[in-house]
Amino acid sequence: MTSHSDTEHQVAPPSRKPFATVAGFGAIGLWSSLALLTTLTGKIPPFQLAAMTFLVGSLVGFSTWAVRPHAIGTLIQPWPVWLVGVGGLYGYHALYFAALQLAPPAEAGLVNYLWPLLIVIGSGLLPGQHVRLSSIIGGLLGFAGVAVLIFARDGLSVDPQAVPGYLCAMAAAVTWAAYSLLSSRFGDVPTDAVTGFCFVTAVLAGLSHLVFETTVWPQQASEWLAIIGLGIGPVGAAFYLWDYGMKAGDIRAIGFASYATPVMSTLLLVFAGKAELGWVLALSCGLIAGGAMLARLSKQN
């Protein structure tokens, strides 16, 4: 097993496995369907939706333990590992689901997808690193994309009813960036531990639902299918693929590819009739993607 100090200084050593890099790309593809599938789940409250989908996601992991019973030992981890894993998954998804229900899905999704920029810029603040000017410029381009998206449609006004959704989306982006940066300290934690994180997240989301929300069950078979699809894909397998890709694949290639997620997500919403591909949306996508690529290139130099 590679130590944390080794992985910290070797971004993509020769021993990296091509299949692991493909697995990372697979996680990105699954995440691009998150916004669309969430809009198809109906009026289910955010915490209830998180509980249901994370339960399915944990079952994806548990199902593989039938032939690998030794994997249960991976649940024995120090409390900081559990705090980062559960805090990141639970906090991020609760905020993200809320954002998609409180604001237009395309706009909320794009605000949320500022997390790649925040990760790149935040990594420059880690010990031994520094923030490059190009990273700051890239971040400003990303935020400009968000500003264009929110303000251009109605001048300088914002629909008050959508403001809570935008704030939730921004908080989700910050939460995921913090989770990703803190997780880099636990490079030795096996991927199987993600199963435990998903299960505890499902329990916490269920308890939050009982306290704060009224239960609303899906009314149509399509809504049940969307929930199952969320749990199997972007709220399930994607986390295992991403974890494996980060530990055994080409991290640089996977990280760069992650900036295509908001564009793919938005296009899926457009094709499904959930959003319009107007000039505002196109310009916002371009600014966010361009800023992310600039920030990433500064990381490589």
Q: What are the pLDDT digits (tens) for 133-151?
A: 777 787 778 778 777 766 6
Strand, helix or coil for residue 67:
coil
pLDDT digits (tens, 9 = 90+) for 151-203: 665 444 567 788 899 899 999 999 988 887 777 677 788 889 999 999 999 99
Share of residues in the chain with pLDDT > 90 (%): 29
Neighbouring C-beta atoms of residue 224, cutoff 10 Å: 15
What's the pLDDT at 154?
45
pLDDT in tens, 13-48: 334 577 888 998 999 999 889 888 988 998 898 889
H-type helices in the chain, by residue range?
4-9, 18-31, 34-39, 46-63, 79-102, 105-112, 115-123, 133-151, 163-183, 193-212, 221-232, 238-248, 251-257, 261-271, 279-300
Side-chain-facing half-sphere of 77: CA atoms under 13 Å:
24
pLDDT at 128: 60
The b/e string for 44-63 (b: 16+ C-beta within 10 A; e otherwise) is: bbbbbbbbbbbbbbbbbbbe
What type of residue sits at position 128? G
Domain boundaries, the chain: 26-300
Query: What pTM did the predictor assign?
Result: 0.77
Look up residue 226 and give its DSSP letter.
H
Q: Is the pLDDT of residue 237 over 80?
A: yes
- Averaged confidence pLDDT in the chain: 81
2 three-class SS: coil
Mean pLDDT of 214-235: 94
